[in-house]
Structure 1
Amino acid sequence: MHTSHLLVTGVGGHLGRLVAEQLIDAGATVPVVGTSRSPERLATLIRRGLTLRRADFDEPDALPAAFADAERMLLISTAAANAGPRRVRQHTQAIRAALQAGVRHIAYTSFLDADSTPLQALAADHASTEAELTQGPVGHSILRHAFYMEMLLTTLPPAIASGRLLSSNTRAGVAYVARADCASADAAALRDGFDGRRTLDITGGQAVSAAGLVRQLNDTLGTDIVAVDASRQDVAAHLAACGLPPPMAQMLAAIDEGLGRGAMARVSEDLERLTGARPTTVEAFLRDHRASLLAR
């Protein structure tokens, strides 16, 4: 007898694991299948009742079998290390295999304003994947994620150590969103039965500027940090001087410059509409990660 499944790709990653766990916890009314390049490493999910299948997006011939019997699929974008042509190829192969397998609705974890953001270097492959979906024949849910709050665990320790947060983004806001909240929205979009076409912005509830972030940091953690308006070059030099590897420092400075141009300023209620819950606030995130931030 044919049984329809909900299918989540990339369950070995941070986001995919969270989505799978939330679907299990919610008691999905149909079976949930997860795919991974290395399912043998995910014994914890297997013990919790998740059916696992091997799927490698670089091996397209095997993908239709991995996606078999799935009515709705959440396509989680592959690792940032694959960004560029390889990621576009991986996503395209996964989408076409899903169509071949008979998947009727594809949800995809994309990037906020993927087709118009100042951060085109980060978003171009997401925009290409969105185009593959919108030009295709089946329903889809494009879930455009804002930047994860977890980024702050990398960018704030240098500010805490030096007493200064250098940024070219002292005015424009960033609608940081917790990864767990994105997972909740993604899981909800997968299981809610919507069969049309939609694009949703998955953001935090407030856009926070660098100056506002410093105020919240000082109020929550008792630090005494100042926000400093700086050029991209100065931000990169400061981060490198604080101990970050120079390539990472350059990348974060480029992102910071894009944020100053409003790249992540959009605030949407789509997350709350999908999940019925308010997004995690930056203040709550800082409080929850107080020990980690101060230790580093």
Structure 2
Amino acid sequence: MPETLLVTGAAGQLGRLAVDHLATLHEGPIVAASRDPAKLADLAARGIATRRIDFEDAASLAEGFRGIDRALIVSTDAIDQPGRRAAQHLAAVEAAVKAGVKRLVYTSMPKPEPGSAVVFAPDHHATEQAIRGSGLAHTILRVSWYQENLLGSLGGILASGAWLTSAGEGRIPYVARVDAARAAAAALAADTAANETLDVTGPRAWTTAEVAALIAQVFGKPIQLVALDDAALAAQLGSLGLPPFLVAMLVSMDRNTREGGLPAVTDVVARLTGTPPRPLEAFLQDQKAAFPVAA
């Protein structure tokens, strides 16, 4: 009998892309889960089973993992309260064990071990430890920062012509979200019993200065890199009205980059999916129409 595969967080951006790709790889049953199954109506219309899974609802976890052979646990976005996301993830891992799931795939972050500067790294470290201690076969995907993360600041950078950063000369191997999703789907569909921890990256690692130069080239507007220390960057971000938890997160990510907290480039995307990852140049070219004022 074909195995039944589950994707949690299927209403989210990564989860939805993973379900779409999984449907091209797996001929057996696929279950897409969300806290709000109404958001999965289009998947249900395509014949994909849907379930309600809320990581903070034990009953929904028990029912959601019932009869599942392999599951992709997509990390949640609960980063506003320290420890909340870790508790959610650990509840999901426990439910998977109780339900008799055979294999887990988990979307982690780069180098989440103790010592990481990133404020939410402990969530991923705790989840990785729980998965390894569960006895379940597993693939942990340490996904580098998305190319799409740049969209949150790209408009402001283009409007002002300045990029405020404390990332120094650290390098980021930005990966496209769709490539991370394809890798996750491929890992879930793979017929393997191996336990693996893999770094999912784009094809090149970039310094912030190099990305700024690339943005200037693509959009035809000079970008000045403004190098700050962490305290000055926090003050500048706070002056923009960003909530304190978000300021702390953004500054910690720049510090992490400066301290070498991102991985070297790998071939994981190509190895798992059979196709190379999208270059950052192509991503930025695709954004030109969305920022016509800066073109």
Shift of 1:232: 2.0
Contact 1:236 1:246 in 2 (8 A): no
Alignment correspondent of 1:187 = 185
Kindly indicate whether residue 97 of structure 2 is the aligned counterpart of residue 106 of structure 1.
Answer: no
DSSP-derived class of the 2:151 partner: helix
In structure 2, list runs of 5 or more residues that go unmatched.
Answer: none
> What is the distance in 1 between the residues matched to 2:90 and 2:234?
35
Shift of 1:31: 0.9
> What is the distance in 2 between the residues matched to 1:53 and 1:246?
33
Q: Per the alignment, do residues 88 and 236 of structure 1 end up closer, same or farther by CA in structure 2, a change over 3 Å counting?
A: closer
Equivalent residue letter for 1:40: A
Alignment correspondent of 2:48 = 50
> What is the distance in 1 between the residues matched to 2:160 and 2:231?
17
> What is the distance in 2 between the residues matched to 1:113 and 1:42?
32
DSSP-derived class of the 1:273 partner: helix
1:158-197 aligned at under 5 Å gives the runs 158-197=156-195
Q: Per the alignment, do residues 281 and 295 of structure 1 end up closer, same or farther by CA in structure 2, a change over 3 Å counting?
A: same
> What is the distance in 1 between the residues matched to 2:235 and 2:4?
50
Alignment correspondent of 1:132 = 130
Q: Per the alignment, do residues 55 and 249 of structure 1 end up closer, same or farther by CA in structure 2, a change over 3 Å counting?
A: closer
- Which stretch of structure 1 is more off in the superposition, 200-209 or 94-103? 94-103
- Which stretch of structure 1 is more off in the superposition, 229-238 or 186-195? 229-238
Report the TM-score, using the length of structure 2 for normalisation.
Answer: 0.92
1:76-95 aligned at under 5 Å gives the runs 76-81=74-79, 84-95=82-93
> What is the distance in 2 between the residues matched to 1:274 and 1:3?
21
> What is the distance in 1 between the residues matched to 2:151 and 2:115?
24
Q: Per the alignment, do residues 256 and 193 of structure 1 end up closer, same or farther by CA in structure 2, a change over 3 Å counting?
A: same
Kindly indicate whether residue 197 of structure 2 is the aligned counterpart of residue 204 of structure 1.
Answer: no
> What is the distance in 1 between the residues matched to 2:175 and 2:75?
17
Alignment correspondent of 1:5 = 4
> What is the distance in 2 between the residues matched to 1:170 and 1:99?
43
Q: Per the alignment, do residues 250 and 135 of structure 1 end up closer, same or farther by CA in structure 2, a change over 3 Å counting?
A: closer
Structure 1: 4+ residue segments shifted above 6 A: none
1:49-68 aligned at under 5 Å gives the runs 49-68=47-66
Q: Per the alignment, do residues 217 and 111 of structure 1 end up closer, same or farther by CA in structure 2, a change over 3 Å counting?
A: same
> What is the distance in 2 between the residues matched to 1:123 and 1:250?
13
Q: Per the alignment, do residues 275 and 161 of structure 1 end up closer, same or farther by CA in structure 2, a change over 3 Å counting?
A: same
> What is the distance in 2 between the residues matched to 1:178 and 1:84?
27
- Which stretch of structure 1 is more off in the superposition, 36-45 or 250-259? 250-259
Q: Per the alignment, do residues 148 and 133 of structure 1 end up closer, same or farther by CA in structure 2, a change over 3 Å counting?
A: same
Contact 1:165 1:225 in 2 (8 A): yes
Alignment correspondent of 1:75 = 73
Equivalent residue letter for 1:8: V
RMSD: 2.0
- Which stretch of structure 1 is more off in the superposition, 245-254 or 227-236? 245-254
DSSP-derived class of the 2:98 partner: helix
Contact 2:62 2:99 in 1 (8 A): yes
Q: Per the alignment, do residues 295 and 11 of structure 1 end up closer, same or farther by CA in structure 2, a change over 3 Å counting?
A: farther
Shift of 1:249: 4.3
Kindly indicate whether residue 14 of structure 2 is the aligned counterpart of residue 15 of structure 1.
Answer: yes
Alignment correspondent of 1:245 = 242
- Which stretch of structure 1 is more off in the superposition, 280-289 or 262-271? 262-271
DSSP-derived class of the 1:30 partner: coil
Contact 2:119 2:252 in 1 (8 A): no
Shift of 1:272: 1.5
In structure 1, list runs of 5 or more residues that go unmatched.
Answer: none
Alignment correspondent of 1:36 = 34
Equivalent residue letter for 1:9: T
* 1:283 counterpart (271, 281, 284): 281
- Which stretch of structure 1 is more off in the superposition, 118-127 or 137-146? 118-127
Q: Per the alignment, do residues 143 and 3 of structure 1 end up closer, same or farther by CA in structure 2, a change over 3 Å counting?
A: same
Q: In the TM superposition, what whole-angstrom CA distance separates every residue of 1:104-140 from its partner, at most 9, and x where no partner exists?
A: 0000111111115633422101100100111121100
Equivalent residue letter for 1:17: R
